[in-house]
Amino acid sequence: MRRKFHLLKRRALNPTRIVAGSFAVIIALGTLLLTLPLASRDGQSANVLTSLFTATSSTCVTGLVVADTATQWSFFGQVVILAMIQLGGLGFITVMTLFSLVVRRKIGLSERLIMVSSLNLNNMSGVVRLVRFTLKWTLCFEGMGALLLMTRFIPAYGWGQGVWMGVFHAVSAFCNAGFDILGLDKPYQSLVPFQNDPVVLFAVMALIVIGGLGFFVWSDIAQNRRWRKLTLYTKLVLVMTAALLLIGWAILAAVEWHNPETLGEMSVGGKLMNALFQSVTFRTAGFSAIDQGGLRDTSQALGCILMLIGGSSGSTAGGIKTVTVAVLGLSVLAGFRGRSTVTIGGRSIDRRQQTSATTLMLTALLFFLIGSMFLSLFDAIPFMDAGFEVASALGTVGLTVGITPMLSIPCRVFLILLMYLGRVGILSCSIAFSSPRAVARETKIKYPVTDVMIG
């Protein structure tokens, strides 16, 4: 009986389970608030599924919506959505730590473990300092972004609405959420009215990239400032981020250059700027400056790849993460060379991390394929469109070809599950709800090694 009690206690204190549960609590509370008549612009209660979908998309910083944010939700509703975006982007545990620091309460061991799990760190060294650093610079980045956006929104919408739009879109961009409130004139238009405005597009791009780099990367850059002194992880993040953005930019510009539904009617500068914006927003951001439904199949396929990769660990972005892909690429390269050890920069990568990267990639691809087939079969949607929607949900991106509001109830519920899974993390969910007894048993029992034929 005592052993069972200790087992239950260990399960209850599982840091990963607490992080996963905190997201569920925020979603539940947000759903309740959004169903209030006060939250809707017309003063009538929104249905539960619409509220649940919006709350999940907000908390999981996705951006997919079944009702336009500007036309469906009142100012109160938009405040609720923005609060969920901020909590979801930084992590509820991180924000709660802020209050502990404000009241000068000592951060205990259990809280530090939860913070490590929330930020996807490998150890507790300096975690409180990192959280303090993260909160301070988040406020700075979002504040600077809001001021820049206000210079464009205030002249267009007036002081009150312009200030609110600047704040809303700065937080949404930094948290890689993709929510917008620009749909009063035309619902679901996102940043299309500002597709020729470099201030708006570059401000949003900067916020997206900074938010997607990760809190540890910021801290490492701020402390060391020189390339040689940066950790290997930070170097991998920066190289992968730059490579993916540049490759995406080049391919999108080449494919969409003469497409009249996207870049075809723009000037040369407009084409280059919007192709770059599209490459950036594919990285889990969700804002759109061109019609996503007008993208050619090649661009949609590229978008699915970039959306599934996402940003970096410990950031506001989703996806399987940049360094995961880097580790997989290095593992493949080592395999081609007949090597059993993966090395880079004079360091070797632990086999457990290689296994985790492979597991995460294969599981994400499995969910992507199953989800795409489910949407395609259940709602008779073209497979490419269904795949784009599923990748957007699983990578917590928020881009859509325009089919989200028309999906059936089962497909909406399925996307809700994918958004939650994509934000909390596939491996994190597995760890959170796995049995400690099974894990302990696996570590104690060793079986004889056998050979199987590969390839």
SS3 letters across the chain: CHHHHHHHHHHHCCHHHHHHHHHHHHHHHHHHHHCCHHHECCCCCCCHHHHHHHHHHHHCCCCCCCCCHHHHECHHHHHHHHHHHHHHHHCHHHHHHHHHHHCCCCCCHHHHHHHHHHCCCCCCCCHHHHHHHHHHHHHHHHHHHHHHHHHHHHHHHCHHHHHHHHHHHHHHHHCCCCCCCCCCCCCCCCCHHHCCCHHHHHHHHHHHHHHHHCHHHHHHHHHHCCHHHCCHHHHHHHHHHHHHHHHHHHHHHHHHCCCCCCCCCCCHHHHHHHHHHHHHHCCCCCCCCCCHHHCCHHHHHHHHHHHHHCCCCCCCCCCCCHHHHHHHHHHHHHHHCCCCCCEECCEECCHHHHHHHHHHHHHHHHHHHHHHHHHHHHCCCCHHHHHHHHHHHHCCCCCCCCCHHHCCHHHHHHHHHHHHHHHHCHHHHHHHCCCHHHHHHHHHCCCCCCCCCCC
445's CB contacts (< 8 A; 6+ apart) are none
The end-to-end CA distance of the chain, in Å, is 50
Question: HSE (CB half, 13 Å, CA atoms) of 17?
Answer: 14
**Whether the predicted pLDDT of 233 surpasses 80:** yes
What are 351-366's pLDDT values in tens digits?
A: 888 888 888 889 899 9
**Whether the predicted pLDDT of 455 surpasses 80:** no
What are 84-99's pLDDT values in tens digits?
A: 999 888 775 565 555 5
Q: From its phi and psi, is residue 122 left (phi > 0), alpha (psi between -120 and 50) or beta?
A: alpha
Residues written for the chain: 455
- Which pLDDT does position 1 carry in this prediction? 43
What are 117-173's pLDDT values in tens digits?
A: 555 555 555 566 777 788 888 889 999 999 999 999 999 999 999 999 999 999 999
What are 110-119's pLDDT values in tens digits?
A: 555 555 555 5
- Which pLDDT does position 438 carry in this prediction? 45
**Whether the predicted pLDDT of 7 surpasses 50:** no
Q: Is the CA virtual torsion 235, 427, 246, 199 positive or negative?
A: negative
Q: How does residue 8 score in pLDDT terms, banded at 50, 70 and 90?
A: very low
Mean pLDDT of 225-249: 92
Q: How does residue 215 score in pLDDT terms, banded at 50, 70 and 90?
A: confident
Percent pLDDT > 90 in the chain is 56
β-bridge mates for residue 348, sequence order: 343
Mean pLDDT of 57-80: 95
What are 264-284's pLDDT values in tens digits?
A: 999 999 999 999 999 999 988
- Pick the range with the lowest mean pLDDT from 9-23, 364-378, 424-438: 424-438
Mean pLDDT of 60-67: 93
- Which pLDDT does position 3 carry in this prediction? 47
pTM of the model: 0.88
CB 99 within 8 A of CB 144: no
CB 185 within 8 A of CB 70: no
**Whether the predicted pLDDT of 316 surpasses 50:** yes
